C-alpha cells in the first residue's frame, strides 16, 4: 500500500504546475495603461502631418491636463515659449508671428497613412474606445474584437501584436459586403513608443541671448520657397545642435542655455498697402508667372529706394523688432541677456540704414523711447497692466543706467561735426544735394540721410542697443558705393552697435565685401570661416596643396634656369667662375632653406583668407577693430560650376552650420564663454 501511496504522490506536482500556468497567464493578461503623447497638426507640402511635441513639452501638457485648474486657465507655453497651447480648445497658437492655428491631440492610438509610412493619431474619443476594448481583450484574453468608427472605418484587434484598420472604399455597398472586406488594411499601433517617429527632448529653458532675423526680398527665403518663419526654425534647430557639439562643457556646467532666434517679416505689411493692386493694373498679360514673380520679389529693391515705401519698410522693421522685444520681455521677465540682429540680403541693408541712423546720445534716446514705448501703445498690444508697468520701468531704468556711458561715446577722429552728424562725417560720401552746411547745427535728420546717399526717411529708433549685427549675403557694400560713398572712416562705428560681421558664400551673386571700403589701398582676402567639424574641406586642402606644389616646382625650375644662364653668359675667368659658383650655391641653399621652412610651417598655418603670417590689417572700428568679412567654404560639388550654384549660394545660410557656429561663438564670447576646442 505504501508503494501505491508513493506512486500516488505525483498529483501535488501537477497542481503546482497548473498553479504556475495560472500565474503565467495572469502575468500575460495583466493590463497596463498606455502612456499618452501630445501631437499637433501641421500642413507640409499641402498635406496634413502630425508632429510630436518634445518630451519636455508633452510632459508639461499632460501635467496640465491632469491638473484640477479650470479649463480657461490651462494655457501651456510650448516650443521654447514661441507657442501657446490652449488645452480646452485643443489649439496651438503662435505667439510672436501670425500663423494658422493648429489642432492639438492627446494621442495614444495610431494608424498608418495610405500614401506614406507616417502614422496618424486617432481622435481622442475614439482612442478611448480602442483602449477600453484593448483592456477587455487583454484581461479576458479574448481577441478578434471589432470596432467601427463614426466614419464606418473598422478596426480589428487580432492579438496584441496584430491590429489592423480597414477603410471603406465607398460609403455604401449594394452587394452587401461589410466595411472590413473593403479597402486596404493598415497597421494599427498602440502607444507612441511603437511607431517610428523622432521625438526631440526639448530646448533648454534658459535663454542667454535674443537675435532678431530680418529677411530679404520676396516672401520666400530659400530655394524651397519657404517663409522666413520656417527658415528661422531651421536656423534655431542648427544652433541647438551646434551648442551640443561645441559648447558641451559649458552646458554640463550649466553656464549656458540657448540663443533664441525670432523672425521679422516686413514683406507682408508692405504688399498689404494696396501696391499689388496698382501693379496688377499695369502688368502685361504675357509671361504671367515671371511677371508675378518679379512684382512679388525683385521690385522690393525698388520699393526700398522709393521715399514712400522706404518709410513703410523701415517703420515696419523697427516697430516689429520693438514689439517683439517688449513681448519677449513680458513672457520672459527674468531675461538678462543681450540682443543682436541679423539680416539676409536686402534685410541686412535695411538694418544697416537703421543702425547708422540711431541716436547715441542719452537725451535723444530717452525722448524717442518715450515716443515709442508709451503705455497706450503697450495697452494696444494687449499687454496687461502689471506687465505693462514692469516693461516701462525696465526700459526707463535701463536708459538711466546707460546715460553716462552714452554721453561719453567718442566721435570719429578728426570729425568736428556734432554728435548727431557722426554717420555723415564717418562715411566719406561724394557730394550730394542738400548735404552742405545746412546739414549742421541741428538741421533736420533727412539732410544727413541724403548725405549718406540714403533715401530721405525718418528712421525710427530701437528700444534696445544691439550687441552685434550679422549680415548674410549682403549687398551693403554695393549700395554704399552706388550711393556715392567712397570710403568708410576707420574710426567710424555704428552709433549703438559695436559688432558687425559680413558673412557670405564665395559664389553668392548678391554679396559684396565691406573691408576694402575701409582700407582701399590694401589687397587682402576675407577671413575663411572654419568648418564646423574643425578642419578645412578636403577639396580646398587638395587645391591649396596642388597650388603650393606648382609654386615650388616653378621656383625650383626658375632657379635652375637662372644658374645655368649665369654660368653660360659670364666670362670664363677663374676668379669670376669661383664667385659665380659661390653665388649659385648660396642661392640654392637659401632657396632650399626657404622651402624647408615653408614646408615645416604649412601644417600650422591658419586657414586661407585669414593668414596671420602677414601683418594684421587695420579694418577700422566698425567691428571693434576685428575682421568684418567672412567667407564660407564651398562644398565639393559646388566647386565644379560656380554659376550653377550661384542661386544656392545666396540662399544657403539658413542651414549653414558654419554660419550658425560663428554667430554662437561671437555671442558667447561677449559672456566670456569659448568653444570646447578652437577650430583650425
Q: Which stretch of DSSP H or E encloses residue 50?
A: strand 47-52
Distance CA 645, CA 651 (A): 10
C-alpha distance from residue 320 to each of 20, 96, 226, 313, 461 (Å): 71, 10, 20, 10, 12
C-alpha dihedral (70, 73, 78, 84), degrees to nearest 10: 130
Residue with cell 615653408: 598
639 labelled catalytic: no
DSSP code string of 65-132: HHS-S-GGG-EEEETTTTEEEETTTTEEEESSS----EEEEEE-EEEE-SSSS-EEEPPHHHHHHHHH
Region of residue 430 (phi > 0: left; psi between -120 and 50: alpha; otherwise: beta): beta
Which residue in the list 345, 348, 435, 467 is annotated as catalytic? Answer: 345
Strand order in the sheet with 91-94: 47-52, 37-44, 102-107, 91-94, 83-86, 75-78
Q: What is the DSSP letter of 273?
A: S
Spell out where 516-628 has E strands: 527-528
All cell numbers assigned to 495: 552709433
Closest CA to 276 of 296, 256, 293: 296
Cα-trace Rg, the chain: 35
Task: Check if the beta carbon of residue 669 is closer than 8 Å to that of residue 502.
Answer: no
**In angstroms, how far is CA 186 from the centroid of its own chain?**
38
The CA distance from 536 to 544, in Å, is 11
Rounded Cα–Cα distance for residues 213 and 234 (Å): 12
Rounded to 10°, the helix 307-331/346-356 angle is 80
**Beta strands 207-214 and 338-344, pairing class:** parallel
Residue among 334, 344, 95 nearest 235 (CA): 344
C-alpha grid cell, residue 174: 449594394
State the Cα–Cα distance between residues 122 and 112, nearest whole angstrom: 10
Whose cell is 530679404? That residue is: 216
Judge contact between 199 and 55, C-beta under 8 A.
Answer: yes
Distance CA 61, CA 59 (A): 5
CA–CA dist 121, 106 (Å, integer) = 9
Contact status, residue 619 vs residue 525, Cβ threshold 8 Å: no
Q: Which three cell numbers stand for residue 361?
A: 546720445
Q: Do 670 and 256 touch, CB atoms closer than 8 A?
A: no
Q: Angle at Cα 507 formed by Cα 505 and Cα 508, nearest 5°?
A: 65
Query: Which among 195, 45, 185, 30 has a CA at the least distance from the CA of 107?
Result: 195
3-class secondary-structure state, position 42: strand
Interhelix angle 228-246/657-669, rounded to 10 degrees, is: 70
Beta strands (DSSP E) in 565-638 are: 629-631
Integer angstrom CA distances of residue 473 from 321, 450, 482, 662: 21, 25, 17, 15
Terminal CA-to-CA distance of the chain, rounded, Å?
94
What are 212's three cell numbers? 532678431
Q: Residue 175 contacts by C-beta under 8 Å, 6 or more apart in sequence?
A: none
Catalytic residue set: 345
Amino acid at each position: 500500500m505504501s508503494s501505491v501511496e508513493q506512486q500516488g504522490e505525483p498529483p501535488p506536482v501537477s497542481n503546482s504546475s497548473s498553479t504556475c500556468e495560472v500565474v503565467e497567464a495572469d502575468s500575460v493578461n495583466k493590463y497596463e495603461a498606455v502612456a499618452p503623447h501630445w501631437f499637433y497638426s501641421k500642413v507640409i507640402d499641402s498635406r496634413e502631418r502630425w508632429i510630436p511635441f518634445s518630451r519636455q513639452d508633452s510632459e508639461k501638457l499632460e501635467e496640465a491636463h491632469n491638473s484640477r485648474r479650470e479649463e480657461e486657465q490651462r494655457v501651456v507655453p510650448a516650443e521654447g515659449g514661441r507657442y501657446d497651447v490652449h488645452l480646452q480648445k485643443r489649439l496651438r497658437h503662435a505667439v510672436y508671428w501670425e500663423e494658422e492655428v493648429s489642432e492639438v491631440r492627446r494621442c495614444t492610438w495610431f494608424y498608418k497613412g495610405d500614401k506614406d509610412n507616417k502614422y496618424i493619431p486617432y481622435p481622442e474619443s475614439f482612442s478611448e474606445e480602442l483602449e477600453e476594448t484593448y483592456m477587455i481583450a487583454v484581461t479576458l484574453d479574448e481577441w478578434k474584437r471589432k470596432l467601427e468608427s463614426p466614419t464606418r472605418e473598422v478596426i480589428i484587434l487580432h492579438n496584441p501584436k496584430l491590429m489592423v484598420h480597414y477603410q471603406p472604399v465607398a460609403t455604401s455597398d449594394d452587394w452587401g459586403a461589410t466595411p472590413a472586406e473593403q479597402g486596404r488594411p493598415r497597421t494599427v499601433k498602440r502607444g507612441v513608443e511603437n511607431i517610428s517617429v523622432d521625438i526631440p527632448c526639448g530646448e533648454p529653458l534658459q535663454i542667454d541671448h535674443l537675435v532678431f532675423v530680418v529677411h530679404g526680398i520676396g516672401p520666400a527665403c530659400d530655394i524651397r520657397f519657404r517663409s522666413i518663419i520656417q527658415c528661422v526654425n531651421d536656423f534655431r534647430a542648427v544652433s541647438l545642435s551646434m551648442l551640443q557639439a561645441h559648447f558641451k562643457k559649458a552646458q554640463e556646467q550649466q553656464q549656458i542655455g540657448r540663443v533664441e532666434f525670432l523672425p521679422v517679416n516686413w514683406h507682408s505689411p508692405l504688399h498689404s498697402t494696396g501696391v499689388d493692386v496698382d501693379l496688377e493694373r499695369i502688368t502685361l498679360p504675357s509671361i504671367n508667372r515671371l511677371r508675378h514673380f518679379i512684382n512679388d520679389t525683385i521690385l522690393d529693391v525698388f520699393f526700398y529706394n522709393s521715399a514712400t515705401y522706404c518709410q513703410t519698410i523701415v517703420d515696419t522693421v523697427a516697430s516689429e523688432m520693438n514689439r517683439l522685444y517688449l513681448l519677449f520681455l513680458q513672457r520672459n521677465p527674468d531675461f538678462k541677456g543681450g540682443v543682436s540682429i541679423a539680416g539676409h540680403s536686402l534685410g541686412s541693408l535695411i538694418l544697416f540704414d537703421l543702425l547708422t541712423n540711431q541716436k547715441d546720445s542719452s537725451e535723444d534716446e530717452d525722448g524717442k523711447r518715450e515716443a515709442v514705448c508709451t503705455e497706450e501703445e503697450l495697452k494696444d498690444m494687449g499687454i496687461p497692466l502689471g506687465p505693462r508697468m514692469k516693461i516701462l520701468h525696465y526700459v526707463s531704468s535701463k536708459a538711466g543706467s546707460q546715460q553716462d556711458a552714452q554721453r561719453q561715446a567718442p566721435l570719429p577722429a578728426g570729425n568736428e561735426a556734432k554728435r548727431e552728424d557722426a554717420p555723415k562725417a564717418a562715411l566719406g560720401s561724394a557730394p550730394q544735394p542738400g548735404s552742405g552746411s545746412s546739414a549742421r547745427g541741428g538741421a533736420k535728420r533727412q539732410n544727413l540721410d541724403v548725405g549718406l546717399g540714403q533715401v530721405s526717411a525718418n528712421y525710427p529708433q530701437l528700444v534696445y542697443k544691439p550687441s552685434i549685427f550679422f549680415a548674410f549675403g549682403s549687398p551693403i557694400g554695393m549700395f554704399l558705393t552706388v550711393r556715392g560713398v567712397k570710403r568708410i572712416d576707420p574710426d567710424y562705428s555704428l552709433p549703438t552697435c559695436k559688432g558687425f560681421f559680413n558673412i557670405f558664400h564665395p559664389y553668392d551673386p548678391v554679396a559684396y565685401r565691406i573691408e576694402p571700403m575701409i582700407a582701399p589701398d590694401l589687397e587682402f582676402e576675407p577671413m575663411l570661416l572654419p568648418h564646423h567639424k574643425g578642419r578645412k574641406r578636403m577639396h580646398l586642402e587638395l587645391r591649396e596643396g596642388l597650388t603650393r606644389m606648382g609654386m615650388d616646382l616653378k621656383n625650383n625650375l626658375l632657379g635652375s634656369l637662372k644658374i645655368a644662364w649665369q654660368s653660360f653668359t659670364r666670362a670664363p675667368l677663374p676668379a669670376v667662375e669661383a664667385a659665380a659658383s659661390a653665388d649659385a650655391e648660396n642661392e640654392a641653399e637659401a632657396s632650399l632653406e626657404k622651402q624647408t621652412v615653408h614646408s615645416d610651417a604649412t601644417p600650422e598655418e591658419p586657414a586661407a583668407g585669414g593668414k596671420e603670417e602677414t601683418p594684421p590689417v587695420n579694418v577700422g572700428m566698425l567691428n571693434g577693430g576685428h575682421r568684418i568679412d567672412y567667407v564660407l567654404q564651398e562644398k565639393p560639388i559646388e566647386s565644379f560650376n560656380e554659376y550653377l550654384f550661384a542661386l544656392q549660394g545666396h540662399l544657403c545660410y539658413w542651414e549653414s552650420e558654419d554660419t550658425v557656429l560663428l554667430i554662437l561663438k561671437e555671442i558667447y564670447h561677449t559672456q566670456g564663454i569659448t568653444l570646447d576646442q578652437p577650430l583650425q
